[in-house]
């Protein structure tokens, strides 16, 4: 495509949408052998800004709902870990515990039909998007009433009605798909923005770089969000990267960039509101991608069998002092939004919901073996299946 403004996008006759979606570059002045001014990257930092629920336009009830949502993710996974120990759940189980401010804050800031895609550490985002704990737990148990009819398991939560597109096990594999979803939004002129979440380990995959470049060229309304939880399995970011400042990964592609304190619900919420609006083109009439680093931490191992020799107890304990759920709880109490008794009630409600989900999952039947090849391809008569 170099040297031409042509695009390979197929355009139905008379349809101006693809033309609008085509790249019209904007290339920043290249560094040629002459005078040039270095670019100053556009980075927004969302950390320690002192945002309050009032400054964000949130009511006390909104804050309580968000607290409840984070707590649901936490209790759901604590119970899932227990059920894994009882061999009710097979295969892999990657817990999101510690990262709940990211899911709740981001999802709450979006429109309900902004599509979301993520990796295998997917329970938190699915629950934040409104998947029922019944459908989630049944999926973990491999039962027919699970969100993927019991055939996806922990790594493949999916809910098209809620615009939640998985749940993907190949590190980085979901990133190009997320950019494609964003492209579709632009092509159809819906005003939506797609969210592609991935881990710090995925940034080293070629798929990320190819997708990021296309997102930039086509001004795709997509947020490329790295949830930097400091480790990819047992490898710390510092050991895996020449430059551990992941936020810089948007620079080579000319993207706007944001860095967010992912342990602070209000920072995440406020950031995603601003960024998503800008990516939709609401600020300047131009859709665009963003590169977003959310700095977070996972309190549990990579998956259920992880001796965690790569970090010290002191490090883990120190991070637990920043627990995003305890921070919201402290905020609610400090600002006297609700008394502690109300928060205890919320916790009891959430625990009861999760226990009911376990019963639901126990009672749901296993999928019949005859359904094995169903739900593999969207095209029902796809020729290469039995």
- In the complex with Mg ion, the residue whose CB is nearer, 73 or 216, is 73
CB atoms within 10 A of CB 7: 16
Residues in 280-339 that interact with ligand TPP by CB under 6 A: 302
Write down the least CB distance from residue 230 to ligand TPP, Å.
8
What the block records as the tokens of 7 is 């695009």
- Count of residues binding Mg ion (CB under 5 A)? 4
Work out which of 28, 160, 233, 330 binds ligand TPP, going by CB under 6 A: 233
Work out which of 133, 229, 287, 296 binds Mg ion, going by CB under 5 A: 229
**Contact in structure between 345 and 67 (CB atoms under 8 Å):** no
Work out which of 202, 260, 263, 350 binds ligand TPP, going by CB under 6 A: 202
171 touches which of ligand TPP, Mg ion, none (CB within 5 to 8 A by kind)?
A: ligand TPP
Residue 199 lies near Mg ion (rule: CB under 5 A) = yes
Work out which of 114, 145, 200, 278 binds Mg ion, going by CB under 5 A: 200
Rounded to an integer, what distance in angstroms lies between the CA atom of residue 124 and that of residue 56?
23
- Decide: residue 310, CB within 10 A, 0-12 exposed, 13-18 middle, 19+ buried: middle
233 touches which of Mg ion, ligand TPP, none (CB within 5 to 8 A by kind)?
A: ligand TPP
Rounded to an integer, what distance in angstroms lies between the CA atom of residue 250 and that of residue 289?
9
Residue 246 lies near ligand TPP (rule: CB under 6 A) = no
> Looking at 59-67, 157-165, 228-236, 335-343, which segment touches ligand TPP (CB under 6 A)?
228-236
Residues in 154-173 that interact with Mg ion by CB under 5 A: none
SS3 content of the chain, % helix, strand, coil (to 5): 45, 10, 45
Work out which of 141, 183, 231, 247 binds ligand TPP, going by CB under 6 A: 231
**Contact in structure between 104 and 69 (CB atoms under 8 Å):** yes
Distance of CA 365 to CAs 79, 87, 151, 197, 376, Å? 20, 16, 12, 32, 20
What the block records as the tokens of 359 is 């019963």
Residue 201 lies near ligand TPP (rule: CB under 6 A) = yes
121 touches which of ligand TPP, Mg ion, none (CB within 5 to 8 A by kind)?
A: ligand TPP
Residue 199 lies near ligand TPP (rule: CB under 6 A) = yes
CA-closest candidate to residue 185, choices 104, 107, 110, 267: 110
Write down the least CB distance from residue 289 to Mg ion, Å.
21
CB atoms within 10 A of CB 277: 13
Q: What is the DSSP string of 300-323?
A: S-SSSS---TTS-HHHHHHHHTT-
- Number of residue whose CB is nearest Mg ion: 199
- In the complex with ligand TPP, the residue whose CB is nearer, 23 or 234, is 234
Write down the least CB distance from residue 121 to Mg ion, Å.
8
Write down the least CB distance from residue 121 to ligand TPP, Å.
4
**Contact in structure between 369 and 142 (CB atoms under 8 Å):** no
Residue 200 lies near ligand TPP (rule: CB under 6 A) = yes
| Residue whose pair of structure tokens reads 């492209």 in the numeric block | 183
Write down the least CB distance from residue 100 to ligand TPP, Å.
14
- In the complex with ligand TPP, the residue whose CB is nearer, 88 or 241, is 241
Residue 90 lies near ligand TPP (rule: CB under 6 A) = no
> Looking at 166-174, 212-220, 312-320, 330-338, which segment touches ligand TPP (CB under 6 A)?
166-174
Rounded to an integer, what distance in angstroms lies between the CA atom of residue 358 and that of residue 140?
10
Q: Find the angle CA(73)-CA(74)-CA(77) to the nearest 5 degrees.
A: 85
Write down the least CB distance from residue 237 to Mg ion, Å.
8
Residue 154 lies near ligand TPP (rule: CB under 6 A) = no
Residue 159 lies near ligand TPP (rule: CB under 6 A) = no
Residue 76: DSSP 8-state = H
**Contact in structure between 194 and 181 (CB atoms under 8 Å):** yes
- In the complex with ligand TPP, the residue whose CB is nearer, 169 or 191, is 169
What's the distance, CA 79 to chain centroid? 22
Could you list the residues that contact Mg ion (CB under 5 A)? 199-200, 229, 232
Binding site for ligand TPP (CB under 6 A): 119, 121, 169-171, 199-202, 229, 231-233, 302
């Amino acid at each position: 495509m170099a040297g031409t403004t042509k695009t390979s996008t197929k355009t139905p006759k008379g349809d101006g949408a693809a033309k609008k979606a085509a790249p019209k570059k904007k290339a920043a002045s290249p560094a040629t052998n002459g005078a040039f001014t270095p670019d100053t990257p556009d980075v927004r930092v969302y950390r320690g800004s002192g945002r309050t629920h009032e400054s964000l336009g949130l009511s006390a009830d909104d804050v309580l709902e968000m607290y409840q949502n984070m707590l649901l993710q936490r209790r759901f996974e604590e119970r899932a870990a227990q059920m894994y120990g009882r061999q009710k759940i097979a295969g892999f189980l990657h817990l999101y515990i510690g990262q709940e401010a990211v899911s709740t804050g981001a999802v709450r800031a979006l429109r309900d039909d902004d599509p979301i895609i993520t990796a295998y550490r997917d329970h938190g985002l699915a629950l934040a998007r409104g998947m029922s704990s019944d459908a989630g737990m049944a999926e973990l148990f491999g039962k027919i009433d699970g969100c993927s009819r019991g055939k996806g398991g922990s790594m493949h939560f999916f809910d098209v009605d809620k615009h939640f597109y998985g749940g993907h096990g190949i590190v980085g594999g979901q990133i190009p798909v997320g950019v494609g979803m964003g492209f579709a939004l632009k092509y159809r002129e819906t005003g939506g923005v797609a969210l592609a979440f991935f881990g710090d380990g995925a940034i080293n995959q070629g798929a990320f770089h190819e997708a990021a470049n296309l997102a930039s060229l086509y001004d795709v309304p997509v947020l490329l969000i790295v949830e930097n939880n400091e480790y990819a399995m047992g490898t710390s970011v510092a050991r895996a990267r020449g430059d551990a400042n992941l936020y810089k990964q948007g620079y080579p592609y000319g993207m706007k960039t944001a860095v967010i304190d992912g342990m602070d619900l209000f920072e995440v919420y406020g950031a995603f509101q601003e960024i998503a609006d800008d990516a939709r083109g609401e600020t300047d009439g131009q859709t665009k991608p963003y590169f977003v680093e959310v700095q977070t931490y996972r309190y549990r191992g990579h998956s259920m069998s992880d001796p965690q020799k790569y970090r010290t107890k002191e490090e883990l304990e120190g991070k637990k002092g920043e627990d995003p759920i305890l921070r919201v709880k402290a905020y609610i109490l400090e600002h006297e939004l609700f008394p502690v008794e109300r928060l205890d009630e919320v916790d009891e409600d959430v625990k009861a919901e999760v226990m009911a989900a376990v019963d639901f999952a126990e009672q749901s039947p296993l999928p019949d073996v005859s359904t094995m090849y169903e739900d593999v391809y969207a095209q029902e008569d796809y020729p290469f299946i039995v």
